[in-house]
A and B are shown apart, each in its own frame.
Chain A
Amino acid sequence: EIVLTQSPGTLSLSPGEGATLSCRASHIVSASYLAWYQQKPGQAPRLLIYGASSRATGIPDRFSGSGSGTDFTLTISRLEPEDFAVYYCQQYGNSVWTFGQGTKVEIK
């Protein structure tokens, strides 16, 4: 089973700053099956990025995804107040899905 390790665990930033979130896989992951989700307290996760770099419907262009192989990145170019949340990466392989442990982006 592929393990996804996200870093950092917590990112303390101010609105307007940029954020770079990392997701590292224990084995090579198909970029086609790498997604990112945002979760706010008390809410279900929301799809942000699929196929490693494609934005989901309605997702602002300040969110972007990149990467291949074992290293993937979610970048938020300029943090808006509504972007402070927990972010999870997810992969699919051999009929099994796995999630990373999450990165919390908090207001500094």
Chain B
Amino acid sequence: QVTLKESGPVLVKPTETLTLTCTVSGFSLSNAEMGVSWIRQPPGKALEWLGHIFSNDKKSYSTSLNSRLSISKDTSKGQVVLTLTNMGPVDTGTYYCARIVTSLDVSTAYFLSYFDYWGQGTLVTVSS
């Protein structure tokens, strides 16, 4: 059974650094076909992709957050950590982690990639 669960502070002050942990179970972060992504959603707004990390430690970040965002993993603990510096009110929202699956479509010989499992999300509020 695959699960992901986000944990971290619910309230952060402006200019502080946010650290969130995604703890996964039911799969290994060393699996070559898998990765973990972070996504957030401001209240009442759309989903925003933040970044991801794959089993080979390859990372990618949203260009709008690239200078503030860092993602790392501890494979032995089954954890992926998001660090977002210099938090502001616009960073308020629900933060999700999701598993990325990459698989080969044998009918087309193309690779497929998508988010098949999501955590429940954690609401982070930025306020003094």
Give residues in A with beta carbon < 8 Å to B.
1, 30, 32-33, 35, 37, 39, 44-47, 50-51, 54, 56, 88, 90, 92, 95-102
Contact = CB atoms under 8 A, between A and B. Distances in A.
A92 B39 CA distance: 14
A92 B102 CA distance: 11
Nearest to B119: A44
B112 A51 contact: yes
Interface stretch (B14-22, B25-33, B42-50, B70-78): B42-50
Interface residues of B, dominant DSSP? strand
Interface of B: 37, 39, 46-49, 52, 60, 62-63, 96, 98, 105, 108, 110-116, 118-121
Contacts of B111: 32
23 contacts: A32-B110, A32-B111, A35-B115, A37-B47, A39-B47, A44-B121, A45-B47, A45-B115, A45-B118, A46-B118, A47-B116, A50-B112, A51-B105, A51-B112, A56-B116, A96-B49, A96-B60, A96-B62, A97-B52, A98-B49, A99-B39, A99-B48, A99-B49
A98 B37 CA distance: 12
